[in-house]
Amino acid sequence: MTEISSIVVEEIPVAKRKKSGLRHWMQEASRLRAAALEDLDEATVHDLRVALRRCRAMVQTIREIDDDPGWQKLNRAAREIFQALGELRDTQVQLLWLQHLSTGEDILATRLQGHLQKRERELRALARQVIEVFDEKRWEKWTEKFPQRLTKLAGNVLAFEELAQRRLEEIESLDTKAAFERDEERYH
Averaged pLDDT for residues 57-83: 92
User: Same structural domain for residues 89 and 162?
Assistant: no
Task: Quote the pLDDT of residue 3.
Answer: 39
Between CA 47 and CA 106 the distance in angstroms is: 32
Mean pLDDT computed over 147-170 = 84
19 and 56 assigned to the same domain: yes
Please give the Cα distance from 43 to 89 (Å, whole number): 9
Ramachandran region, residue 106 (left: φ > 0; alpha: ψ -120 to 50; beta: rest): beta
How many domains, the chain?
2
Query: Which is higher by pLDDT, 94 or 148?
Result: 94
pLDDT grade for 157, boundaries at 50, 70 and 90: confident
pLDDT value, residue 106: 85
- Do 150 and 173 lie in a common domain? no
Percent of the chain with pLDDT over 90: 56
User: Secondary structure of the chain in the HEC alphabet?
Assistant: CHHHHHHHHHHCCHHHHCCCCHHHHHHHHHHHHHHHHHCCCHHHHHHHHHHHHHHHHHHHHHCCCCCCHHHHHHHHHHHHHHHHHHHHHHHHHHHHHHHHHCCCCCHHHHHHHHHHHHHHHHHHHHHHHHHHHCCHHHHHHHHHHHHHHHHHHCCCHHHHHHHHHHHHHHHHHHHHHHHHHCCHHHHC
Domain that holds residue 100: 2-155
- 166 and 80 share one domain: no
Both 11 and 30 in a single domain?
Answer: yes
pLDDT at 1 (0 to 100): 36
pLDDT digits (tens, 9 = 90+) for 121-140: 999 999 999 999 999 999 99
- Name the band, by pLDDT with cuts 50, 70 and 90, for residue 185: low
**Taking the model in full, what pTM does it have?**
0.78
Q: Do 99 and 185 share a structural domain?
A: no
181/118 same-domain check: no
pLDDT digits (tens, 9 = 90+) for 47-60: 999 999 999 999 99
